[in-house]
Amino acid sequence: MPDRDAIRCDACPVLCYIKPGRTGACDRYANHDGKLVRLDPHLLLDQAVARGESVVPFLERDREWGGNLVQPCGTFVTAIGAGTTYPDYKPAPFIISAEIEGVDMVTVVTEGIFSYCGVKVKIDTDRHLGPETSTVRAQGEAVGHVTTSEYGSQMLSLGGVRHLTGGSRREGTVTCDTLLDLCNGKPAELRIEGGAKVIVQAGKAPVVDDVREERMRVGCGSAAIGMFAKQWFGQVDEVVVVDDHITGVLSEHQAGKLLGVPETGIRLKGRRSTPGRYFQVAEPGTAWGGTNLDDPRTILKPFHPKIAWPGLRLLMVSTTGEHSVYFELDENLELAEKDLPPLLERSVARLKENCEPALSTVLFMGGAGGSLRAGVTENPVRLTYSVRDALTRVTCGGAPAYIWPGGGITFMVDVSRMPANAFGYVPTPAIVAPIEFTLTLADYAALGGHMDHVRPLAAIASANDHVHNVANPENPWPLEPAKPKRKPR
């Protein structure tokens, strides 16, 4: 039997009984003198005076509003700290109206509980983190997998309903903790089966096998040849840009051909795709250009004796410029390593300069399901249509969300554009994420919104249980009028 003084929180399916002075299982709600209270303050964002002007450096996400550089009328009600409603049919905690440029707008906010959610992590590195589809583990538990790599980046897909609910209780809990850390800008240590240990944190350089990654590659080996062929032309006879995916060879590449680089008789291992572009010259790894090569000579076959000549100058460089070596052919057409001539040193430095700082980026991805949509309207599919038609703008803590085409409201948001500690959890386990729907009051009425729960902004903006922060000036202001794709259905 629950304690007689305990009160029941009904904000999620756990339905905690909370004793006086205690918090519920998620630490978001507490029993304060017999009253159920949401512990974190509800966050309102104020628009910076000059758009694009960095009033508060956004990485200092904990800094609060100073009160002097904002327009009093530009206030947006976020869902951060707004609370959750359960079960689904209850109206969202805040349905706020305001007049924007002569148009009555409404913003519906709620802290959604997401069982169907995860993060996509982009890790700017050439280094091989592990084979595609390999399991990614945190604290020994499977929390996701390696997915298709992208241009200069390795990609992880973490979370999802199968890891949150389909495995052991510990797997679900660890998955939830890992997602929560990553979404709230904290580091997570991940181990990839058959691959590397990697520490990722949104907006920070990844650490692969205890080595902090400095730069992402300039492009694949073929792209690097195309970009720098002119700078190499005349300074060196042959260049090989070593890359795990596409290794480039200057004399054979179209860029070299158009410049008139003569044949050198170079011969490479691997599979020739098109002239000057080779696949699979080595195994993937964490050395030269994301291969397992410590000595790039091993990808070369002997030079063609009828074409090559003694004194032929060869530069081998990786796609980040992190590795480079210079050879000249001796009388026997064997490679003799020499110091890099100053002009080539400069070209390698230029290649490095073109490599951007390596970062880890984290996108939260979720599906706005029953409780969210029913909290907005009595006819949930109409909200889906309204979002699809761009009549309703979706934001997360004021940050813009990308809506996937197709059915449902499946969205992605860059967590580093959101205010600090915007995410929470409930022990079902599931992630709690803020989500706001903004549309005109007329459209809201038309889609069957909870009109009798609409409150004016003025009724809450000055209350002292809300905090004001300056909006991230890099985000579009969420209350700017939407540009609908088509007329309401």
Binding to ligand SF4 (CB under 6 A) within 388-427 occurs at 426-427
Binding to ligand SF4 (CB under 6 A) within 421-450 occurs at 426-427
Minimum CB distance to ligand SF4 smaller for 29 or for 76 = 29
Of the candidate residues 6, 19, 22, 25, the single one contacting ligand SF4 (CB under 6 A): 25
Q: Is 39 in the site for ligand SF4 (CB under 6 A)?
A: no
> Which position has the token pair 């595609």?
132
Q: Is the Cβ–Cβ distance between 409 and 373 less than 8 Å?
A: yes
Q: Which residue is nearest to ligand SF4 (CB)?
A: 24
- State in angstroms the smallest separation of the CB of 422 from ligand SF4: 16
Can you read off the two tokens belonging to residue 277? 């572009």
Instruction: Print the SS3 string covering 29-55.
Output: EEEECCEEEECCCEEEEEEECCCCCCC
Dihedral (Cα; 11, 62, 138, 149), 10-degree rounding: 110
Minimum CB distance to ligand SF4 smaller for 16 or for 92 = 16
Beta-strand relationship, 300-301 and 267-268: antiparallel
Stretch that binds ligand SF4, among 24-32, 90-98, 209-217, 315-323 (CB under 6 A): 24-32
Minimum CB distance to ligand SF4 smaller for 5 or for 295 = 5
- State in angstroms the smallest separation of the CB of 140 from ligand SF4: 25
Minimum CB distance to ligand SF4 smaller for 9 or for 363 = 9
Stretch that binds ligand SF4, among 6-14, 176-184, 190-198, 367-375 (CB under 6 A): 6-14
Q: Is 28 in the site for ligand SF4 (CB under 6 A)?
A: yes
How many degrees, rounded to 5, is the angle at CA 145 between CA 143 and CA 148? 155
Of the candidate residues 7, 9, 240, 329, the single one contacting ligand SF4 (CB under 6 A): 9
Which distant-in-sequence residues (6+ apart) come within 8 Å of 470 by Cβ?
45, 46, 48, 55, 56, 65, 66, 69, 70
Of the candidate residues 2, 15, 194, 456, the single one contacting ligand SF4 (CB under 6 A): 15
Minimum CB distance to ligand SF4 smaller for 11 or for 239 = 11
Q: What is the DSSP letter of 14?
A: T
Q: Is the Cβ–Cβ distance between 323 and 317 less than 8 Å?
A: yes
Q: Is 315 in the site for ligand SF4 (CB under 6 A)?
A: no
Stretch that binds ligand SF4, among 5-13, 201-209, 230-238, 389-397 (CB under 6 A): 5-13
Q: Compute CA distances 457 → 44, 360, 385, 397, 476, whole Å.
A: 10, 37, 26, 17, 20
> What is the C-alpha to C-alpha distance for residues 379 and 348, in angstroms, rounded to an integer?
61
- State in angstroms the smallest separation of the CB of 29 from ligand SF4: 4
Q: Is 250 in the site for ligand SF4 (CB under 6 A)?
A: no
Minimum CB distance to ligand SF4 smaller for 121 or for 432 = 432
Q: Is 24 in the site for ligand SF4 (CB under 6 A)?
A: yes
Stretch that binds ligand SF4, among 20-28, 72-80, 93-101, 464-472 (CB under 6 A): 20-28
- State in angstroms the smallest separation of the CB of 37 from ligand SF4: 11
Minimum CB distance to ligand SF4 smaller for 135 or for 428 = 428
Dihedral (Cα; 110, 389, 400, 96), 10-degree rounding: -40
- State in angstroms the smallest separation of the CB of 144 from ligand SF4: 24
Of the candidate residues 14, 268, 390, 467, the single one contacting ligand SF4 (CB under 6 A): 14
Of the candidate residues 11, 250, 329, 439, the single one contacting ligand SF4 (CB under 6 A): 11
Burial degree of 32 (CB within 10 A; 0-12, 13-18, 19+): middle
- State in angstroms the smallest separation of the CB of 423 from ligand SF4: 14
For 433-473, give the DSSP string: EEEEEEEEHHHHHHTTB-GGG-EETHHHHT-TTEEEEE--T
- State in angstroms the smallest separation of the CB of 24 from ligand SF4: 2
Beta strand ranges found along 284-323 (DSSP E): 300-301, 313-318
Minimum CB distance to ligand SF4 smaller for 24 or for 206 = 24
- State in angstroms the smallest separation of the CB of 376 from ligand SF4: 20
Q: Is 38 in the site for ligand SF4 (CB under 6 A)?
A: no
Which distant-in-sequence residues (6+ apart) come within 8 Å of 186 by Cβ?
201
Beta strand ranges found along 177-276 (DSSP E): 188-192, 197-200, 207-208, 211-212, 238-242, 247-249, 267-268, 271-274
Q: Is the Cβ–Cβ distance between 153 and 124 less than 8 Å?
A: yes
Which distant-in-sequence residues (6+ apart) come within 8 Å of 304 by Cβ?
265, 266, 267
Q: Is 375 in the site for ligand SF4 (CB under 6 A)?
A: no
Minimum CB distance to ligand SF4 smaller for 23 or for 286 = 23
Minimum CB distance to ligand SF4 smaller for 10 or for 189 = 10
Q: Is 335 in the site for ligand SF4 (CB under 6 A)?
A: no
Of the candidate residues 7, 26, 200, 207, the single one contacting ligand SF4 (CB under 6 A): 26
Q: Is 29 in the site for ligand SF4 (CB under 6 A)?
A: yes
Q: In 149-179, which positions are buried (b, 16+ CB within 10 angstroms) versus exposed (e)?
A: beebbbbbbbbbbebbbeeeeebbbbbbbbb
Q: Is 37 in the site for ligand SF4 (CB under 6 A)?
A: no
At 487 the three-state DSSP class reads coil
> What is the C-alpha to C-alpha distance for residues 187 and 202, in angstroms, rounded to an integer?
8
- Interface ranges with ligand SF4 (CB under 6 A): 9, 11-12, 14-16, 24-26, 28-29, 426-427
